[in-house]
Structure 1
């Protein structure tokens, strides 16, 4: 605790540089023998923010999981949206997912590894999700899970782990994660930036900080594969491994050491979005262009829905309001506690949105910026209120009667509910990113608006002009 902020430039300049040819060659060589299907369970839809040409499924039925196993791609995502669930709901769905994965693995004869992808600012249902996955996989299969590997590094969002402390970049300043607004989350808050202490805090002392294995930046930069492997081989009893990282190269070196150990040992992963890109061997791709995204034959306006309430989103919304080409409609989400008033408000917002989109005007519907809390002392009451607001936002999106030129959803829960409930997406292809860390789905044929680029904009990602920049790319000139 009491970690200090760091100067990003100064810290990064002191690190030993890599021979990237060596790093990439070593990784390619190690991955040739890695045959496990990689299954990423994503607790909100933003986890595909580093990949492209990968499928994401929005249910966890055996049929969908079998499609993922049968596909020739090394990896697939399952969107659980569990960050919007209660603890009990999370337990139930992760039990079901683990059981279905094991059954399909047996039927297909293909081995697997599970990555629990969650927030790079350490929010989410931890440690419940990985504990449930471990218990169920061991119960339904012959696997023994030896340890859990934790990698919250995510450079696109400015998340770095240095000396086991996790930082969030604010410009050129690295702020300890526990000193940010994310740590004050009503449902998933925490007080520790040192990941060893964070693990002890979140597991309520079951896994103490002195039992955590740490992979340092110096070990990674020295390409100490054998030393890292010895550390991993010594991990037992589901103890934790913290991986320091400030660059994708650090993750590549770690994965090179890891895959050799995984010939004999099994791990579950709790990570941000960087690890899936590396271990899934996703080809690097530039940002998506206007030509790749814009449908010039559809003259209707676009639809933007903003639900996230974090400060970054509010700042981005204010910069978006600088565009005269957009009609802004505030949705008074505080009315969810008054059913009659809520109905009147939804009718108003839906009518205005449809009228403007049909006229060729892009519409931005946004929730009131003040945070609305129950203040009951029960964190799950606040989560239920957030879900109720999201349901109202989803109803607005579900009631758009004319096909928009594009859809952008801002916020994790918002973008998940819009994608799965309002648009009815069951399977989507991840096209890539419109801006760093901001993914785009191509909706499936089964969806309400088939073959439409759907921009999933995380609440806590991007600079102040990020949302405006994305809209300007998507709009017809």
Structure 2
């Protein structure tokens, strides 16, 4: 389907000043608490705090930074529904407690995947139910905005899909829709909501805010929001940043009229919602004062989507100086062999880091099962192995930098492999994608950490990311 032809049926984008949105947010005093189901949600923002723990003290630290949004890394996409629900409840309860002691109003964002994978409708439903249990008013509606234009994921006429080379592919026709844990069929968001709610929310009841409404301006958007029935699911088109900004303007008007919302969104929504302008891509990582780091950096690849495998192939081809360590997945899943496999991997990595960069990855043959829970358990076992390798490597020889490829992988490496509890997001290595964190304490303090989603970039982007960090090494 030709994307230009699709867009020709709609008005052109309507510009919106992010500074005006930022000022409205500042006047409201509202802070967004972003429950990020894997750490790749931070790739569109900069200079915001991110937490991997959600105690009241942790949320208090983040709120005290004065940021308009706080990210809480829940990693729920790697957990079963029961665990995901528990984590969501805990975060909301802690955030409300921390905010109440400071007299701060907060709103909640459930950050999901721009390719529609994850625990929906569970997570926004749990957020709403927890707020009610705490005596707060239930959100007026659930706003669903999966678009991620920087990565080619857009929604037009209520249909979500991917743009590549001028062609639009409905998301239900991509490999992501065949995900063994979070698969689906529908591309029209209203139909997807009906599918994911098992018919509890009929497609006909879903409110659609299309490009035509967005591009008529924030007041028209607000009218559409205010007309939505209480408790509705509202799905929103977006092709450009200004579409998201017009939505933000409409939301500000609706919220000033007493409405409140819980959001299920892709990565760039928060940037637009708080009036944060896109930052130039980082040329390299900040300098560190640590003097004990190795010469080489560590690249950890766990994602198995086709794009990641192509990126890994390009990296190993174009960086022949790097040491490559493959973790054989069948061996990892075999208790009799797993220990020796991990011992050998750690020995090779530690031995190589004082001379060059090291690439460690799980073998590319994906072990499939028809049982979603079993598939998730296999993913967890592979991630656990990568975490153990990183833990032991950092204790023996801290690398110059760490890049983690894949959503579950990057979360587990951050929280368990590197022990990152609190960090600041410093920006992106490429426009709107691939986030760089600065850990503020713990064993990883001073080690640049790059969160690289499995499903973003081109075939050479991982190689380019390593080159940026290697350039820092040569300074």
Q: Which TM-score tier does this pair reach, normalised by the shorter chain?
A: over 0.9
Residues in 1 aligned to 2:288 and 2:157: alpha-carbon distance in whole angstroms:
44
Q: Size of the alignment, in residue pairs?
A: 466
1:381-460 matched pairs, under 5 angstroms: 381-400=374-393, 401-436=396-431, 437-446=433-442, 448-460=443-455
1:249-264 matched pairs, under 5 angstroms: 249-263=242-256, 264=258
Residues in 2 aligned to 1:89 and 1:104: alpha-carbon distance in whole angstroms:
23
Specify the SS of the correspondent of 1:390: helix
Is 1:312 aligned to 2:307, yes or no? yes
Is 1:141 aligned to 2:135, yes or no? yes
Compute the displacement of 1:172 (Å). Answer: 2.4
Residues in 2 aligned to 1:258 and 1:411: alpha-carbon distance in whole angstroms:
32
Change (3 A) 1:324 1:294: farther
Within the candidate set 100, 103, 109, 1:106 is matched to 100
1:22-421 matched pairs, under 5 angstroms: 23-24=17-18, 27=21, 30-31=24-25, 33-223=27-217, 225-263=218-256, 264-290=258-284, 292=286, 300-322=295-317, 323-358=319-354, 360-373=355-368, 375=369, 377-400=370-393, 401-421=396-416
Compute the displacement of 1:174 (Å). Answer: 1.5
Residues in 2 aligned to 1:293 and 1:330: alpha-carbon distance in whole angstroms:
30
Contact 2:294 2:353 (C-alpha < 8 Å) held by counterparts? no
Change (3 A) 1:159 1:70: same
Compute the displacement of 1:24 (Å). Answer: 4.6
Deviations 1:156-189 (A, max 9, x none): 2110000000011233221100100000000000
Contact 2:399 2:447 (C-alpha < 8 Å) held by counterparts? no
Deviations 1:182-224 (A, max 9, x none): 000000000000000000000111111111111111121222x
Q: Which residue of 1 aligns with 2:460?
A: 465
Specify the SS of the correspondent of 2:50: strand
Compute the displacement of 1:107 (Å). Answer: 2.3
Residues in 2 aligned to 1:8 and 1:100: alpha-carbon distance in whole angstroms:
44
Residues in 2 aligned to 1:458 and 1:276: alpha-carbon distance in whole angstroms:
17
Q: Which residue of 2 aligns with 1:3?
A: none
Deviations 1:37-75 (A, max 9, x none): 111110000000100001101011111112222221111
Q: Which residue of 2 aligns with 1:8?
A: 3
Q: TM-score, normalised by structure 2?
A: 0.94
Compute the displacement of 1:295 (Å). Answer: 8.5
Residues in 1 aligned to 2:196 and 2:287: alpha-carbon distance in whole angstroms:
41
Deviations 1:4-39 (A, max 9, x none): xx223444466533453x555754564453321111
Task: Calculate the aligned-residue CA RMSD, in Å.
Answer: 1.9
Greater alpha carbon shift after TM alignment, 336-345 vs 204-213: 336-345
Contact 1:31 1:256 (C-alpha < 8 Å) held by counterparts? no
